[in-house]
Structure 1
Amino acid sequence: MAEQHPIALQRPGSIVIAVLTYRRTEDLRMVLPRLAEQAHSVSDAAAGTVLPQILVIDNDPAASGRSTVEAVAAAFKPGLITYIHEPKPGIAAARNRALAQSAFADLLIFIDDDEMPYGRWLAHLVNLQRATGASAVVGPVISDYQDEPDAWITAGRFFERRRLATGTPLTVAATNNLLLSVPKVRELNLEFDERFGLSGGSDTLFTRQLVRRGGTMLWCDEAIVVDRVPTMRLTRGWVLRRALRSGNSAARVSLELERTAGRRLAARSASLISGLIRLAGGAGQMALGLLAGSTTHEARGFRTAARGLGMASGAFGYVYQEYKRT
């Protein structure tokens, strides 16, 4: 399995599915066969379509996923699944490696290693992009819990994500279910900012830049992936840390998008004000929930306050590194 050079995908219509992974070998054993099915279903349905390739980017310096990927790949057509080792820490580096390795492809689709594609996921993404010429297409992520969440998590609806009508334009997205037009990415001179590699937010910045530079990003509600939420994430601490990080990276992204001192000052002020409003409003909602015995108000107030704290701290330049490694 070659690692050093871009995959030679030069025929029109070529597709790469990128799975970014970090020490999740069991998840890889589950998802790779499903992605292989998706790849074959697309090529079988459209005569002349190049069989999509699956690219596994392993961000573990120890390359812990290599043997698993090679074992799974051996059961399929040679070249269908390719293993790439990207030892530089941070998800942004792994995302950029996927872009580099897919330099000759037409489409690049990102999916997380702990997600499972549902139904005709790949076909729906590809068909919408080809029908519209969109620069990017985004699909929904549905949570499936490893264990039953406690009442606080359920009341807060923290793992319920948005659903929109297919074709709805977007201005921001994550890479957990994202199709990119590789030629359009090159045209817009885009890459993932590796300063956000250990803090999160490089996908937020990337997709906001894509739209700001004239790209189009559309929602595809039929292209569903299922996120398997482990027990370790079904805690108050994890939810609040994620909210703080999300607010922190959102403020930092807003600053990064502005190129002049005046506009950066305005963005900093807006993030600070918005953060303080959320912090105060969340504290009030939390107090109301505690007094009224409403778990929903209490839980959502806590998360709103945590996000507000993240935004306010980000406005002052603080960087919360959720993915910091020891």
Structure 2
Amino acid sequence: MSQRQTADAVPATRIDIGVCTFRRQTLERTLLSLAVIEIPEGVTLRVIVADNDVEPSAEPLVERTRRRLPYDISYVHCPAGNISIARNACLDEATGDYLAFIDDDETASEYWISSLLATARATGADAVLGPVAARYEEQAPSWMRRGDFHSTRPVWVGGEIRTGYTCNVLLRLGSPVVAGRRFNLALGKSGGEDTAYFTQMNRAGGKIAFAPEALVSEPVPEQRARFGWLAARRYRMGQTHGRLLAEGTSATARPIQIVLAAAKSGYCATAGLLLAPFAVPRNRYLLRAIMHAGVVTGLGGARIIHQYGKVEASIP
């Protein structure tokens, strides 16, 4: 299959690839990985780079890389410091049949887009998720590498995927549960905007599928290879989940949800302490305890902690 589109070809399917960026030089590696992916026959690709910095800091890098890609790049400056603004800019700019998202510190495997598209066509899903494989540096703690705490895969509940993520996904733009849907600006600094987006899509009847061969990889820099970073992320995830639970729970039933989440947190914390000599299961349970504690505060309406912006800016 050709990886380069000819000018006189009339493609049957158009796919836009959205890359949201905030002061990361790794963007260049991400874009170059897209240059060598397999393009299915009859498909044309276009890349949308949404620059979320106050100044258009990514524009020179995009212009420098443009000539090395076999398809068009659309650069959009969408300030500032709110990831939901950047994701919505990609949705607004997209003109294809599908929109894929990949993060600006990830690299796509050869069959990434073809695997996502094949699953979308086979299942008729509104969104298709792919796996994200973490790449650890040698300095990362051994328990972290053994337990692979940073890789991302969907979670099945009752045989279905009820939420998703934007670090590796394909959206069918013509779907009635996708068309017009946007990411919540209130979650654009804390994170969790993607969880809310896909949870609400699922509640509206949307179907989410998984393409295990649509692999992207993501390095784990030193700043993230710490228990503290994982704990803050799990806590924020729990807060988002708690707020989403609260949306679908009556005020009278909410105390029951809080008690259940607190009980789960206590159980996991106890299990973590009992497994203290065994680093991988111990930390897995402790992180789950922290996540359920976040659910408690999310159900209670506590302010969600902000993670987006400062962390991204500190990673080269």
Q: TM-score, normalised by structure 1?
A: 0.84
Deviations 1:179-228 (A, max 9, x none): 00111156664211111111111111111121221221111111111111
| Structure 1 residues 89-100: aligned runs within 5 Å | 89-100=81-92
Q: Could you tell me which residue of structure 2 aligns to residue 84 of structure 1?
A: 76
The answer to whether the Cα contact below 8 Å between 1:169 and 1:219 also exists between their aligned partners in 2 is no
Q: Could you tell me which residue of structure 2 aligns to residue 17 of structure 1?
A: 17
Q: Of residues 204, 210, 221 in structure 2, which corresponds to 1:213? A: 204
Query: SS at 1:110's partner residue?
Result: strand
Matches of 2:133 and 2:152, distance apart in 1: 7
Q: Could you tell me which residue of structure 1 aligns to residue 30 of structure 2?
A: 31
| Structure 1 residues 39-118: aligned runs within 5 Å | 41-42=38-39, 45-46=40-41, 48-49=42-43, 51-77=44-70, 80-102=72-94, 104-118=95-109
Query: SS at 1:109's partner residue?
Result: strand
Q: Does 1:306 align with 2:290?
A: yes
Matches of 2:112 and 2:253, distance apart in 1: 37
Q: Could you tell me which residue of structure 1 aligns to residue 302 of structure 2?
A: 318
The answer to whether the Cα contact below 8 Å between 2:234 and 2:290 also exists between their aligned partners in 1 is yes
Inter-CA distance 149–278: structure 2 relative to 1 (3 Å threshold)? farther
Query: SS at 2:205's partner residue?
Result: coil
Q: Give 1 or 2: higher helix fraction.
A: 1
Inter-CA distance 163–99: structure 2 relative to 1 (3 Å threshold)? closer
Structure 1 position 289, deviation (Å): 2.4
Matches of 2:50 and 2:117, distance apart in 1: 22
Equivalent pairs, count: 299
Unaligned runs of 5+ in 1: 1-9
Query: SS at 2:79's partner residue?
Result: coil
The answer to whether the Cα contact below 8 Å between 2:136 and 2:145 also exists between their aligned partners in 1 is no
Structure 1 position 253, deviation (Å): 2.1
Query: SS at 2:191's partner residue?
Result: coil
Deviations 1:211-260 (A, max 9, x none): 2212211111111111111111111110111111111111112223x3xx
Inter-CA distance 113–251: structure 2 relative to 1 (3 Å threshold)? same
Q: Of residues 279, 287, 291 in structure 1, which corresponds to 2:265? A: 279
**Percent of aligned positions that are identical:** 30
Query: SS at 2:275's partner residue?
Result: helix
Q: TM-score, normalised by structure 2?
A: 0.86
The answer to whether the Cα contact below 8 Å between 2:171 and 2:178 also exists between their aligned partners in 1 is no
Matches of 2:29 and 2:178, distance apart in 1: 35
Q: Does 1:238 align with 2:190?
A: no
The answer to whether the Cα contact below 8 Å between 1:139 and 1:219 also exists between their aligned partners in 2 is yes
Matches of 1:139 and 1:164, distance apart in 2: 12
The answer to whether the Cα contact below 8 Å between 1:285 and 1:300 also exists between their aligned partners in 2 is no
